[in-house]
């Protein structure tokens, strides 16, 4: 069996499940934000108060990680299908997944104020 280093999961089924799970987390986070926005008169202080809640911070962190997983698998699938040059595909995959990791790191720092 060939091991592919570019995928996030161990197999196609595992990647499929990770994609669906990350999509469900992102949908739940979106609905959480929409529920908050529709139930409150939004001001700067209300928004800061909302994002200072531990539940919101943890949920946002889960959403950031879900975006990372979703992007990683999606980038691998798209680049494998459409970029046939191995060197270019490897460079693009490394660059784009590095950007996704940097986004998660910045999100973590912004959320938790490190």
pLDDT digits (tens, 9 = 90+) for 62-109: 999 999 999 999 999 999 999 999 999 999 999 999 999 999 999 999
pLDDT for residue 7: 57
Is residue 5 domain-resident? no
Coil, helix or strand at residue 7 = coil
**Exposed, middle or buried: residue 62 (CB in 10 Å: 0-12, 13-18, 19+)?**
middle
Position 83 in a domain: yes
CA nearest neighbour of 71 among 110, 101, 37, 36:
101
Q: Predicted confidence band at 1 (pLDDT cuts at 50, 70, 90)?
A: very low
In a domain, 1, yes or no: no
Confidence (pLDDT) at 4: 57
CA separation for the pair 111, 48 (Å, rounded)? 11
- Is 2 part of any domain? no
Q: Is the Cβ–Cβ distance between 6 and 76 less than 8 Å? A: yes
pLDDT at 8 over 70: no
For the chain, give the mean pLDDT: 90
Domains in the chain, number: 1
Q: How far apart are the first and last CA of the chain?
A: 43
The CATH number of the domain where 20 resides is what?
Answer: 1.20.1300.10
Q: Residue 100 falls within a domain, yes or no?
A: yes
Q: Position of tokens 């693009």?
A: 92
Per-residue model confidence (pLDDT) at position 109: 94
Predicted TM-score (pTM) of this structure: 0.83
pLDDT at 40: 72
């Amino acid at each position: 069996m060939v091991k592919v280093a570019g995928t996030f999961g161990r197999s196609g089924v595992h990647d499929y499940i990770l994609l669906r799970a990350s999509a469900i987390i992102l949908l739940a986070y979106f609905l959480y934000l929409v529920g908050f926005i529709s139930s409150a008169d939004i001001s700067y202080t209300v928004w800061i108060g909302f994002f200072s809640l531990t539940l919101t911070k943890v949920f946002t962190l889960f959403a950031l990680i879900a975006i990372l997983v979703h992007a990683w698998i999606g980038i691998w699938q798209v680049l494998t299908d459409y970029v046939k040059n191995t060197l270019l595909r490897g460079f693009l995959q490394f660059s784009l997944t590095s950007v996704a990791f940097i986004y998660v790191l910045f999100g973590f720092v912004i959320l938790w104020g490190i």
